[in-house]
Chain A
């Protein structure tokens, strides 16, 4: 058994078992309609969680993403309302802003030697504050293009709808997998998470990689904001509070080590789907309080952290044994 893939396998196994249990009680849960909704409802979380996966693999954390999503929604709504710009230029402008915002946080982390936790916490307040500056109230989006985008879907067999935003999330996941596994940037991110000092000695461009990682997270948070704006047809500065924590939870449940250096983007998708599945089950059941979602996710998270610790511990013992015996 490979220690690298064990957490991922555990996640997949839990997902299959959980889905099977839900299916036994509510056979409809396996229909493409439910699956389609699962993807649509969690599209913004899935996209931002892919960015978070890169950040966590690199050994960092990005607490700003929830606020950036809210900022993005308000920015889109206000720009569409108050300027003559169409949605596409607004989207492009937003993605440039959030990408630069991420890169600036990465630069601060690297050049000022600040802990990512503090820098992105500051980024969180900053982005939320900027959203308030733009508008305190919820701003509706009445744009023709956006309502078209909202209604776009591909009818899957079984009458399920794979919406544009659900599909976009899957595309982001696939691109994320390729970038993580098949590019030098991806390997550099893993190298950074394995040890920044060693990575530097091995020639990894640490400054550039750190900035790129947070820029990717910022870009995906902006993209997630666009998806959320399409999904809700509004921009509200109080929206998506705590989504960064949901994203972190999805990443960890997806088998990525919080200490960095190990994890998979594919696992994060499963993590998001597990969280969505719990929510769906509670809706199907109808009698359970929606707070059970949080409790179930909390338990899962705890379980995974314990599993990770056990793996790290077992790995350490094995290396010790290997070093002792040879």
Chain B
């Protein structure tokens, strides 16, 4: 591969770094090269391996294979503190500083200037003022960190990381909770560091910001390196393609499912449905036996659409009808009562109860629906569980095994079984194939197709575009928290989806700046 600065040793070079977790290969021989004075964006969807790579670089994880060289010397950071001493500092989205301490204390914690063993507060505060001034901050360093905005806290975190490490700075989603003006302040600080010769790794899912600040872009997908290119030579379309689509093989180009008839009254019709700050109002009719795919980049409003539909965050505008009758939604209870099911993206935190058995996990939603006053007998639960274990091919010794001991794909099937037990009419699946192995992947796709043949309506969110193309009758494209395009039947190809996602949006940051 091309070296960004030929003839010179790059500041940081990771070669063929690998990392596996039980059941998944999180990083598969990934190369990454960072030059001095370079802002290098690291992009990829959830589960692409960005954070695993960063954690290998900062010592939070020990890599399984490969080599990391800093200034030409091989390093093997044991933990984040060790990485920091070697010269690699990290700043996370949630500011990892102590809001109860003063700005100066946060900057110098563990390294306070002392005199005869006592902390010299005056000198510490003077140094802190000088340090924050370098970053363009004019603040009272003796006040507690918590009394300042997230942007200031973020810059203080950067100042601390740079002071302690000084060679490589990794910024993990630093702008996620900042407004447009604060982003400008942060970028100004980043440019200053770049001039001082630091290498900066910038992780963000805001493509506008990536194009504004970065010199070079590395894209990961499913734990593999897709490519590394200079930002100037990349356009939005090609970047989104790298992030979402495999290189298309012309011959086997596939399109979405056809044959869905849209002249009948839909089973469900959402009109002007939305919630401020989450997803702009949208219209969404869904037919019996239809699979509607939702495509978009991370943070674009995919999951938000599902959460508002299911009432996790109640809608504040719009109406819903079911077979022409008004439907009152607004809570998950109401959604379940209306025959909805929702398989969330992060099954570990949002759905699966690892300590309970497969049988108990499957019985949960049905039990909730019929009410706790009429408990399902153990016998009926067992019959039901055995039935789903057979139908969904859940690999387990028996139904009493705690779900936490199953592999990711089988956990996903248990979650699916939980909702299928309630016999839903409308099932929402958020990234159903995330983090599961290839075999289970194909089985889940087959299941989705079977369910829709049985007449169930499905809304499936996925960042795997090939997958969406395979099973969707219709694909909704979301961008910047709004539904921006709809593709039907033959029009659905990975290419059309990527085009719709990448179409340069109205510069939202400019619009935001104008209103401030």
Collect the chain A residues with CB atoms within 8 Å of residue B106's CB.
202
Proximity string of chain A (185-220) to chain B, C-beta cutoff 8 Å, 1 when within and 0 when not: 011101101110011011110000000000000000
B162 to chain A, nearest CB (A): 14
The segment from B108-116, B251-259, B330-338, B443-451 found at the interface with A is: B108-116
Given contacts A198-B98, A319-B146, contact A187 B179 (CB under 8 A): no
Q: Is B96 a contact of A198 with CB atoms below 8 Å?
A: yes
**Which residues of chain A have C-beta atoms less than 8 A from B105's C-beta?**
187, 190-191
**What's the Cα separation between A190 and B100 when bound, in Å?**
8
B144 to chain A: which residues have CB within 8 Å? 2-4
Q: Are A187 and B81 in contact (CB under 8 A)?
A: no
In the complex, what residues of B have CB within 8 A of residue A201's CB? Answer: 80-81, 96
Q: At the interface with chain B, which of A176-184, A226-234, A241-249?
A: A176-184
Q: How large is the interface on B (under 10, 10 to 19, 20 to 34, 35 or more residues)?
A: 20 to 34
- How many angstroms from the CA of A225 to the CA of B429 in the assembled complex? 65
Complex interface bits, B146-186 against A, C-beta within 8 A gives 1, otherwise 0: 11111100000000100000000000000001110110000
CA distance A270 to B143 in the complex (A): 24
Asked if B109 contacts A202 (CB within 8 A), the reply is yes
CB distance from A320 to the nearest CB of B (A): 10
What's the Cα separation between A202 and B163 when bound, in Å?
A: 13
Q: Is the CB of A323 within 8 A of B149?
A: yes
CB pair B181–A326 under 8 Å, yes or no, is yes
What's the least CB distance linking A182 to chain B, in Å?
5
Known contacts A187-B101, A191-B98, A194-B99; A326/B109 CB under 8 A: no
Task: Decide: A183 and B117 in contact? CB cutoff 8 A.
Answer: yes
User: Is A318 at the interface (CB under 8 A from chain B)?
Assistant: yes
Most chain A CB within 10 A, of B84, B149, B179, is at B149
Q: Are B114 and A184 in contact (CB under 8 A)?
A: yes
CB <8 Å contact, A326 and B118: no
A323 to B160, CA, bound (A): 21
Residue B370 is within 8 A (CB to CB) of chain A in the complex: no
Q: Mark A286-326, 1 if CB is under 8 A from B, else 0.
A: 00000000000000000000000000000100110011011
Contacts of A4 in B (CB 8 A): 100, 144
Asked whether, in the complex, the Cβ of B81 is within 8 Å of the Cβ of A183, the reply is no
Q: Does A262 contact B (CB under 8 A)?
A: yes
* Interface contact tally, CB-CB below 8 A: 84
Interface centre among A2, A191, A204, A326 (most CB of B within 10 A): A326
The answer to whether A184 touches B182, judged by C-beta atoms less than 8 angstroms apart, is: no
Closest beta carbon of chain A to B338's beta carbon, Å = 34
Does A222 reach chain B (CB closer than 8 Å)?
no
Q: Which residue of B lies closest to A2 (CB)?
A: B143
B407 contacts chain A at the CB level, 8 A cutoff: no
Cα(A262)–Cα(B147), bound, Å: 14
Residues of chain A lying within 8 A (CB to CB) of residue B114: 184
A60 interfacial by beta-carbon distance below 8 Å:
no
Chain B proximity mask over A2-26: 1 for CB below 8 Å, otherwise 0? 1110000000000000000000000
Whether the pair B181, A187 counts as a contact (CB closer than 8 A) is no
Let me know if B356 is at the binding interface, CB within 8 A: no
User: Which of chain B's residues has its CB closest to A321's CB?
Assistant: B149
Determine how close the nearest CB of chain B comes to the CB of A2; give it in whole angstroms.
7
Residue of B100, B121, B181 touching A262 (CB-CB under 8 A): B100
User: Would you list which residues of chain B between 359 and 378 have a CB under 8 Å from chain A?
Assistant: none
Q: Contact check: which of A178, A184, A194 meets B98 at CB < 8 Å?
A: A194
Chain B proximity of A126: nearest CB distance (Å): 32
The answer to whether B119 and A187 have CB atoms under 8 Å apart is: yes
What mask results when residues 100 to 144 of chain B are scored 1 for a CB within 8 Å of chain A, else 0? 110001100110101001110100000000000000000000011
Contact B119 A184 (CB under 8 A): yes
Question: Within 8 Å of chain B (Cβ to Cβ): is A267?
Answer: no
Complex: A55 Cα to B110 Cα, angstroms: 20
The complex places the Cα of A182 from the Cα of B121 at a distance, in Å, of 7
The yes or no answer to A73 lying at the interface (CB within 8 A) is no
B186 vs chain A, min Cβ distance (A) = 11
The 3 closest A-B pairs by CB, nearest first: A194-B98, A261-B100, A194-B100
Task: Give 17 new A-B contacts, CB below 8 A, not counting A184-B110, A194-B101.
Answer: A3-B147, A4-B144, A181-B121, A182-B118, A186-B119, A187-B101, A188-B109, A190-B100, A191-B98, A191-B109, A202-B98, A202-B106, A261-B98, A315-B147, A319-B146, A322-B150, A325-B149
Which positions in A face B, CB cutoff 8 Å? 2-4, 178, 181-184, 186-188, 190-191, 193-195, 198-199, 201-204, 261-262, 315, 318-319, 322-323, 325-326
